[in-house]
Amino acid sequence: MNFREQIQRILPAWASATGDDGDIVLSSRIRLARNFQKYPFPHHASDSQLEQILEEVEALTAKLSQQKGEYKLTRLEALTPVERMVLVEKHLVSPQHVSKPAHRGVLLREDEVASVMVNEEDHLRIQTILPGLRLYDALELAFQLDDEIEAFVDYAYDENRGYLTACPTNTGTGLRASVMLHLPALAMVDQVKKVLAALSNLGLNVRGLYGEGTEAHGNLYQISNQVTLGHSEEDLIGKLISAARQVVEHERNTREALLKDSRIPLEDRVCRAYGLLSQARLITSEEALRLLSDVRLGVDLELIPKVNAQAVRELFLLTRVAILQKLIGKELSPAERDYYRASVIREHLKN
């Protein structure tokens, strides 16, 4: 298997593609929280009950539509710690989900566009991820999978409250919608916090790379809805899309201003970042994300025209700690990771 084939096997489908406003919006994600009527929520369920839930999900796997690829249930306790972290870095499961792997699993569609976390905070967390600003498309896919599962499962549902969930803020539609944004220009002029702080007044959350409690490395930010009760899915999605477009407009305007008023310093910054990435022999994960953020901005603004935009998009994932080790094929010490990360970056940018 050559280097390109290895990458295609490791990366999820959304990471190698682009969509609407794809220069700023990396991905759109829909998550639906659902629970079995007959079992306690996971934090109150016994080990035997959690195991029964896993077995029920395993049994319905073969009944799901395979038009877009086969579904497979993977038990987290059967994976190595590195393999579990690969799932986190690909945004297919949460850090909390893999922290207690016993009696927990993830149902994955072949292309990893659709997935289901089993026995996380809720019994089921149905999730779809698409590139760019495509929340309505992601919602349609999530509803399709949700309907297929509900044909075989009695959900915990109340006529007045909607879908019942372990956390009250998810009760109602059970919907969490989010977009991943790349905001390097706003960060350069120290305006990103000001722009994003205004979103809390609109009932939206701003989080880091892996969701709640994580930092925004590489100028990547997640914006999501805060509450679900009392709102329709369409209302929640519409509000998030409107907010995302406002942030995208701020970022675009800032990029244009930088090009007009500070073009030479901007060119110097992005070209220096490219020079380091294309020549470095050792590089940390945090440094790689910071430099890749600058290079991606340079590519999007056509300041580094010979660099492949897809290669840069993919490197945001390929340089992560666990995915890097999966690509190399063995566990690595921190020093080895810095060496191989630099090597992968140089090779990928060259090709």
pLDDT in tens, 24-70: 999 999 999 999 999 999 999 999 999 999 999 999 988 887 666 68
In this prediction, residue 199 carries a pLDDT of: 85
Buried b (16+ CB within 10 A) or exposed e, 90-110: bbbbbeebbeebebbbbbbbe
pTM for this structure?
0.90
In this prediction, residue 200 carries a pLDDT of: 78
- Residue 227: name the closest of 240, 243, 214 by CA: 240
The span from the CA of 243 to the CA of 239, in Å, is 6
DSSP SS3 for 96: helix
In this prediction, residue 16 carries a pLDDT of: 75
Question: What mean pLDDT, rounded, does the chain reach?
Answer: 90
- Segment 211-263, tens digit of pLDDT: 444 456 889 999 998 766 666 788 889 989 999 999 999 999 999 999 999 99
| Residues 75 and 54: beta-carbon distance below 8 Å | yes
So where are the chain's domains?
3-255, 262-350
The span from the CA of 183 to the CA of 257, in Å, is 14
Count of CB atoms situated within 10 Å of the CB of 77: 12
- Segment 109-135, tens digit of pLDDT: 999 999 999 999 999 999 999 999 999
The span from the CA of 7 to the CA of 15, in Å, is 11
Q: Percent of the chain scored above 70 by pLDDT?
A: 94
pLDDT band at 203 (very low <50, low <70, confident <90, very high): confident
Count of CB atoms situated within 10 Å of the CB of 193: 11
Lowest mean pLDDT among 83-97, 159-173, 292-306: 159-173
Lowest mean pLDDT among 2-11, 28-37, 207-216, 268-277: 207-216
Contacts of 4 by beta carbon, 8 Å cutoff, 6+ apart: 351
In this prediction, residue 68 carries a pLDDT of: 62
CA 275 → CA 194, 272, 349, distances in Å? 31, 5, 11
In this prediction, residue 230 carries a pLDDT of: 61
Tokens 């997935």 -> residue: 115
- Residue 300: name the closest of 242, 350, 248 by CA: 248
In this prediction, residue 170 carries a pLDDT of: 82
Q: Euclidean distance between the first and final Cα of the chain, in Å? A: 16
Lowest mean pLDDT among 9-13, 296-300, 310-314: 9-13
Higher pLDDT, 155 or 226: 155
- For the chain, give percent helix, strand, coil, nearest 5: 50, 15, 30
- Segment 78-106, tens digit of pLDDT: 999 999 999 999 999 999 999 999 999 99
What is the homologous superfamily of the domain 3-255 according to CATH?
A: Glutamine synthetase/guanido kinase, catalytic domain (3.30.590.10)
DSSP SS3 for 68: coil
Q: Is the pLDDT of residue 210 over 80?
A: no
- Residue 121: name the closest of 49, 42, 55, 57 by CA: 42
